[in-house]
Structure 1
Amino acid sequence: MVKVLIAEDDNDLRQNMVDILQLEGYEVIGVVSAEDAISACEKQTFDIALLDLVMPGMTGVEAISNLRQLNPFLAIIIVTAYATVETAVDAMKKGADSVITKPFNSGELIVNLRRTLQEKELLKSSGDIDPDSVYSALANSLRRETLKQLGSHKKLKFMDLCRLVGVEDHTKFNFHLRQLKKAGLVMQNESKIYILTNTGQFVLQNHNLS
Structure 2
Amino acid sequence: MNLSLLLAEDDDDLREVLVEALTLEGFDVSACESAERALELANEQQFDLALFDVVMSGLTGIEAMTTIRRQQPHIGIIITTAFATVDVAVDAMKKGADEFLTKPFNLAALSVTLKRVHTQRSPKSPIEERTNDQVFSALANPIRRAVMQQLSLHQQLKFMDLCRLVGIEDHTKFNFHLRHLVNSGLVKKSEGRVYALTPKGREIHSSMLR
Q: How many residues align structurally?
A: 144
- The Cα shift of 1:26 comes to 1.2
- Residues 98-129 of structure 1 show CA distances to partners (whole Å, capped at 9, x for unaligned) of 11110012212112212211222378988xxx
- Residues 18-74 of structure 1 show CA distances to partners (whole Å, capped at 9, x for unaligned) of 111110111111000111110000011100000000000000001112112221111
Correspondence 1:22-37 to 2 at 5 A: 22-37=23-38
Summarize the Cα distance change of 1:55–1:158 in structure 2 as closer, same or farther, 3 Å threshold: farther
Distance 1:158 1:6 in 2: 41
Give the structure 2 partner of residue 159 of structure 1. Answer: 149
Letter of the structure 2 residue corresponding to residue 27 of structure 1 = D
**Which residue of 178, 181, 195 corresponds with 2:207?**
195
Contact 2:149 2:205 in 1 (8 A): no
Q: Radius of gyration: which is bigger?
A: 2
TM-score, scaled relative to structure 2: 0.60
- Residues 113-161 of structure 1 show CA distances to partners (whole Å, capped at 9, x for unaligned) of 12211222378988xxxxxxxxxxxxxxxxxxxxxxxxxxxxxx9527x
Determine which structure has greater relative contact order: mean sequence separation of CA pairs < 8 Å that are 6+ residues apart, divided by chain length.
1
Give the structure 1 partner of residue 96 of structure 2. Answer: 95
Letter of the structure 1 residue corresponding to residue 207 of structure 2 = I
Distance 2:10 2:104 in 1: 15
Q: Residue 9 in 1 paired to residue 10 in 2?
A: yes
Distance 2:67 2:79 in 1: 15
Q: Which runs of 5+ in 1 are unaligned?
A: 127-156, 170-188, 201-210
Correspondence 1:97-112 to 2 at 5 A: 97-112=98-113
Letter of the structure 1 residue corresponding to residue 34 of structure 2 = S
Correspondence 1:16-165 to 2 at 5 A: 16-121=17-122, 159=149
Distance 1:37 1:158 in 2: 46
Contact 1:6 1:51 in 2 (8 A): yes
Distance 2:15 2:206 in 1: 33
- The Cα shift of 1:194 comes to 4.1
Identity %: 42
Letter of the structure 1 residue corresponding to residue 149 of structure 2 = M
Distance 2:75 2:21 in 1: 21
Give the structure 2 partner of residue 206 of structure 1. Answer: none
Corresponding residue SS for 1:89: helix
